[in-house]
Structure 1
């Protein structure tokens, strides 16, 4: 089974234009560019465009995975709660003849838009090239394995696969995550220890050392 691709909130935020529009909600990351293109000029697409690159989990009920609802105090009827305005695939509050409901599935339930998952927790890691002494600090997803982190690091060093990755002198298993390799402790205990020590978490960044294998590989 193919591993899901994880994204940091910062990576999602970079897709914030009409030509490249992503959002995240309920742990999913969706590319809504095709939806925006299909409904270009429609006022119902405006709330989505306004939230381009952002997390919109507050639009949805975690239990039902559907749009939040509320009871209208005037009519006592259950209605969709859309404080930013009604958007695509949300029916109008009252019956109307000009609203088409012939779409097969609302976009928030349609898997065709999903491109990956939002990381539950991101971590900072320092990668040190012992051959050149270059250092690079990356924000990565705690769910990513080292091979996936390597792919992110390739833009800084196209020969990254020709190095042995080590932490505190031990070879890292590239098919495992940072926590599985013992580089970080992916739990709340580490955060509590840093707090008790009066050390900011962002200042405590583990270093992974790269040792050249004399076997150039370029992707």
Structure 2
């Protein structure tokens, strides 16, 4: 996707390197936590979320480096749903106080693919086919509606870990999140109160409810109790 030619004052500076900040490694997932999105917060590694979806704008910014990318860079790692109209999912509009025209509301300045309010010979709407907020090729997954913590106790090694997971994830997806702590996690049977868990189901579907809302209502620290699962070693099936 190509956008309008950047103005001279925003041309790439002398000695500019394509990756001044190396993108943080990530694994493609169905759901991401806000913390995972927030970790990608530079011009070379820019994620944003809106309407519950996560977009990787890194290449878009590098391909269209200019003043109109500045609002995107400043919002890297954040949720920008407030930029858009909830009904139409298009950029919000407002009445400009100077021109009295109804135009696009850009809280951090005009951003990429938003036309200028006044005629501008540099603006070329034919330079792109789809505005970035409608380009599903930039979408990498969904933002979780809520995170929760899970305690995982390895009954073989006695390791005790607490990880943050997305409530929409299946146990297999949670297992994948746990792999950095135990690369052979798939060699264990995952149980709750002695009952094997359905690895294709979520925590809720496995009768492990999220009780943090009740804790908050009772003015109890939501981390006072964290649901746990126990791992029982089977065989090292993960070794080739």
Do both proteins adopt the same fold according to a TM-score greater than 0.5, normalized to the shorter chain?
yes
> C-alpha offsets along residues 138-185 of structure 1, whole Å, 9 cap, x if unaligned?
110000000001111111101100000011111110000011101124
Between 131-140 and 17-26, report the one with greater CA deviation: 17-26
**What does 1:13-32 align with in structure 2 at a 5 Å threshold?**
13-32=38-57
Q: Is the aligned partner of 1:116 residue 2:116?
A: no
Q: CA RMSD in A?
A: 1.6
Gaps of 5+ in 1: none
> C-alpha offsets along residues 96-130 of structure 1, whole Å, 9 cap, x if unaligned?
22111111110001101000000001100011111
Q: Name the counterpart of 1:87.
A: 111
Q: Is the aligned partner of 1:217 residue 2:238?
A: yes
**What does 1:57-96 align with in structure 2 at a 5 Å threshold?**
57-96=81-120
Instruction: Report the count of equivalent residues.
Output: 211
Alignment partner of 1:131 out of 137, 149, 156: 156
> C-alpha offsets along residues 52-107 of structure 1, whole Å, 9 cap, x if unaligned?
11111111112111111111234332111112010100110112221111111100
- Pick closer, same or farther for the CA change 1:128–1:216 going to 2, 3 Å: same
**What does 1:2-17 align with in structure 2 at a 5 Å threshold?**
5-17=30-42
The CA deviation at 1:191 is 4.2
Distance (Å, rounded) in 1 between the aligned partners of 2:117 and 2:213: 47
Could you tell me the TM-score, scaled by structure 2's length? Answer: 0.83
Tell me, yes or no, if the aligned pair for 1:23 and 1:29 is still in contact at 8 Å.
yes
Tell me, yes or no, if the aligned pair for 1:158 and 1:218 is still in contact at 8 Å.
no
Gaps of 5+ in 2: 1-28
